[in-house]
Amino acid sequence: MSLIEPIATATPLLAGWTTTSLFYRRRLAAARRDPLTSLLTRDGWEKAALRRILRGNAAVAVIDLDGFKGVNDTFGHAAGDAVLKATGHRLHLWAGACNGTAGRLGGDEFALVLTADDFQAGIEQLHELLTAPVDWQGQHLAVGASIGAVPADGLTLSEALAHADQAMYEVKGNGGRRGPRRHQDATQGRPEVNR
């Protein structure tokens, strides 16, 4: 038996395995992306956020759209989808410019992880970007954005998300229009940034 026969026999099998492996890798990558916004899903974002937090000097932000339900109720779900797509695109661009990662946690709630310095410097720009009206079928759809952020150093991802979520709800409770401020988080003694 020559060496050519086993190679000739194995080649179609290897090609099939390679094709199948590539197919499943692409399916897995697609499953980690939100089909509407193309941002990472919660699972994919949490994995990326954990890697970023372990490098240090990270901030975690949670963003909730204010007035989103009113857009859905007034203009329908297609309009709401347009707002979510625009928000996803804007977050992706902003996070990319800051070497950060954006994700959609679900509904109209999003998350960011990036360098704490980059977030502090760009929070005003992010808020302006997210609250710019979305053009949809001749309508200018406007939503607000409540942003809660915390430095993540010394925190687990779960703790950072919980503190950022708490900060976001504090901002939302105050109308979502407050400028960034620093105060000490009473439970951790860490500076917290809100928008």
* Separation CA 27–CA 171 (nearest Å): 38
CA proximity to 193, closest of 175, 166, 156: 166
The yes-or-no answer on residue 108 being catalytic is yes
* Separation CA 70–CA 143 (nearest Å): 9
> Which of these is catalytic: 108, 117, 118, 165?
108
The tokens of 120 are what? 């502090």
The DSSP bridge partners found for residue 89 are none
* Separation CA 168–CA 153 (nearest Å): 19
* Separation CA 32–CA 121 (nearest Å): 29
Q: Which residues are part of the catalytic machinery?
A: 108
